């Protein structure tokens, strides 16, 4: 399979600090149930308030891997091909509580953090927030571009 080059950004057009992608992702309790079914992660802290509270949490939390996956999606869309993302790492810094009625809104801003033109790779730094607080620290994707 070959990479889709028609929509790939050209590395020589990027500048450090430039915002290249972003988005807002609403989460509901239904989202968590669907993710649990797809991932096989049925930890009750992701769907039962009583269990979450009993272990010291504020309530039902979004799955960390769900948050991580949502955060990289704008970068994948911008790159034009998921295979262009050659590395992606985060630190989980704060949970995302998902209210039974209001849900939660996770916001992502993706900026160029570094450019290695010789390797054809740009490091994209992600700021991932919920209620204006960072939920993923050191979130970085390395993207191979032309």
State the pLDDT confidence band at 8, using cuts at 50, 70 and 90.
confident
pLDDT at 33: 96
Domain ranges, residue 94 = 11-27+62-144
Q: How many domains does the chain have?
A: 1
Does residue 70 belong to any structural domain of this protein?
yes
Per-residue pLDDT tens digits for 36-69 = 999 999 999 999 999 999 999 999 999 999 999 9
Token pair listed for 42 = 């049925």
On the question of pLDDT at 18 being above 50, the answer is yes
**Kind plus residue range of the DSSP H or E element containing 91:** strand 85-92
Q: Output the pLDDT for position 1.
A: 35
The pair of structure tokens assigned to 115 is: 């450019």
**Token representation of residue 60:** 């039902």
């Amino acid at each position: 399979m070959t990479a889709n080059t028609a929509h790939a950004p050209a590395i020589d057009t990027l500048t450090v600090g430039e915002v290249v992608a972003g988005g807002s992702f609403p989460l509901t309790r239904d989202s968590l149930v669907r993710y649990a079914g797809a991932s096989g992660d049925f930890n009750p802290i992701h769907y039962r308030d009583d269990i979450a509270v009993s272990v010291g949490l504020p309530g039902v939390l979004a799955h960390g891997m769900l948050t991580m996956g949502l955060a990289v999606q704008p970068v994948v869309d911008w790159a034009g091909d998921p295979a262009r993302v050659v590395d992606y790492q985060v630190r989980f810094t704060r949970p995302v509580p998902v209210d039974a009625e209001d849900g939660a809104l996770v916001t992502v801003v993706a900026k160029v953090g570094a450019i290695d033109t010789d390797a054809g790779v740009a490091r994209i730094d992600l700021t991932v927030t919920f209620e204006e607080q960072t939920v993923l620290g050191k979130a970085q994707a390395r993207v191979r571009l032309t």
